[in-house]
Structure 1
Amino acid sequence: MEAYVSLTITNNVGYIEFYHPNRNSMPSDVLLKLEQTITDAGSNDSIKVIVLKSGGNRTFCAGASFNEVIAIDNEVSGKQFFLGFANVINAMRKCPKLIIGRVQGKTVGGGVGLAAATDYCLASKFASIRLSELSIGIGPFVIEPAVSRKIGVNAMSQMTIDTETFFSVQFAKEKGLYAEVFETAEELDIAVSDLAEKLASYNPEAITEMKKVFWKGTENWDALLAERAEMSGKLVLSKFTKKTLKRFR
């Protein structure tokens, strides 16, 4: 199957699904389409609540496209690449609709940032999480504000330093990334749709105002995440990182 981003509307719930055949890794074109789809869903009057999900069974998102990371050869293209996840997170933050995350499997790097940027996240028992960026010479700079906001600086630091560990779904739930964890994808889907349709029946004006309250204090994130993208764009060109990336070609 080819990569895609789709939007389907059922009972006033907008289901946004992204997919990439390489474990749902996210190249720039998919990130751009995801950002635009979230923005469009936020302004669509027939959508009251949004669900963010990915295709496939056991991987929610493998993070940034490794092939694109390896191909970066200047600071401008480096910043532009890392702005991909920054722009999606900011689109989620500024969207006037509540966004429910549906995480059915493992998630790495930028995928953890997407889960953290949802307003409420449900997961399956297979949804372990990992931040591996520091091991290749960069860091999870762009997603850090979203992840730290959701699970706290201590848990974020632990994951960032222990780059080789997939932290368990129980860890993610205890730290607040996931609200509930389910045994099967079928149970997860039922819970997601039930919650989303219930929220869709609530006063949309109240939900919009509540979302503003949830995200209070993040008004500087457009500039902050752009600065973080520039930082990552420079580090990916460092001798250490280039040498490390060669091992993955």
Structure 2
Amino acid sequence: MTQPYVKQTIENEVGYIEFFHPAHNSLPGDLLSQLADTITEAGENEAIKVIVLKSGGNRTFCAGASFKELININDEDTGKVFFSGFANVINAMRKCPKFIIGRVQGKTVGGGVGLASATDYCMATNFAAIKLSELNVGIGPFVVGPAVQRKLGLSGMSQIAIDANSFYPAEWAKSKGLFTQVYETTEELDAEVKAFAENLCNYNPEAMRDMKTMFWAGTENWDTLLAERAAISGRLVLSDFTKETLKRFK
């Protein structure tokens, strides 16, 4: 696999949405836009009762935003658009009327932690360590912060946001509530995700929709909130500190 993609397949009333990018599943703006649209469309598709969000490849679930695009930001408007990519996906997941099951097979960084946090039920392997690395490059996890805090709590989110150099193991993420189950192998994870998602399809779709609304109560302002957070990141990425830091990462 060398070409980036977002694709959807349907099997036994489960919609599998998969994204891939050869750079450790880091996501540029066009892929994030496709992902948000695909999630929204799956939510409206009557042939789908439950959604599974996954990524291609065996190692990294998602390395966050595209670094190549990040280093080329030269004005605040472009910066806001760039950081709105993950905001739009998180909001699409939040507003989707169907349960979204996360399948996290490997390491997850930055925006990828936000995606995992925005699922309604997330299952992982023991290779699925997580890291919020944004402070390392002079910004912060402003856009994904509300989703991550919602799952890990303020204490857990602030711990990994401040300790931006460290990967936290999957069992730690499970203990904080991000992952519901952690498996030894990807094969075991896939079997359990499939069985769990297909079992959910036996339940009343209306009940699941109303439950999702209940679970996400209090987030109705996220369209505005995450846009504001994207603007903060878009400003910070233009700071002298961040520009100099990014040069070292080139």
TM-score range, shorter chain: over 0.9
Q: Where do 1:169-248 residues align within 5 Å?
A: 169-248=170-249
Give the match's secondary structure for 1:152.
helix
1:245 alignment partner AA? L
Q: TM-score, normalised by structure 2?
A: 0.99
- 1:15-94 → structure 2 map (5 Å cutoff): 15-94=16-95
Once superposed, what is the RMSD of the aligned Cα atoms? 0.4
- SS state at 1:71 partner: coil
Question: Quick one: distance in 1 between partners of 2:157 and 2:204?
Answer: 34
Query: Could you list the per-position Cα deviations for residues 24-69 of structure 1 after superposition, in whole angstroms to 9, with x for gaps in the alignment?
Result: 0000000000000000000000000000000000100000000100
CA distance in 2, matches of 1:13, 1:168: 29
Structure 1 moving runs of 4+ over 6 Å: none
Provide structure 2 residue ranges, at least 5 long, that are not aligned to the other structure: none
Identity across the alignment (%):
67
Q: TM-score, normalised by structure 1?
A: 1.00
Residue segments in structure 1 that go unaligned for 5+ positions in a row: none
Any idea what the Cα deviations from partners look like across 1:147-201, whole Å, max 9, x if unmatched? 0000100010110111110001111000000000000001000110001001011
- Other-structure match for 2:4: 3
Match of 1:13 in 2: 14
- State the match for 2:167 in structure 1: 166
Deviations 1:109-157 (A, max 9, x none): 0000000000000000100000110111100000000000001000101
Amino acid at match of 2:34: K
AA in 1 matched with 2:158: S
Name the amino acid aligned to 2:18: E
> Which amino acid in 1 is paired with 2:101?
I
Matches within 5 A, 1:117-136: 117-136=118-137
2:158 counterpart residue number: 157
Cα distance in structure 1, aligned partners of 2:34 and 2:136 = 29
Distance in 1 (CA, whole Å) between partners of 2:187 and 2:138 is: 39
1:248 to partner: Cα distance: 1.4
Partners of 1:185 and 1:137 lie apart in 2 by 34
Aligned partner of residue 115 in structure 2, secondary structure: helix
- 3-state SS, counterpart of residue 77 of structure 2: helix
Letter in 2 for 1:98: F
Q: What do residues 6-36 of structure 1 show as CA deviations (whole Å, max 9, x unaligned)?
A: 0000000000000000000000000000000
Aligned residues: 249
In the alignment, the residues of structure 2 paired with residue 168 and residue 49 of structure 1 have an alpha-carbon distance, to the nearest angstrom, of 28
User: Counterpart amino acid of 1:159?
Assistant: I
User: What is the SS of the residue equivalent to 1:38?
Assistant: helix
Q: 1:201 & 1:40 partners in 2: Cα distance? A: 21
Query: Distance in 2 between the 1:7 and 1:190 partners?
Result: 18
* CA distance in structure 2 between the aligned counterparts of 1:172 and 1:72, rounded to whole angstroms: 32
* Separation of aligned partners in 2, 1:119 and 1:248: 34
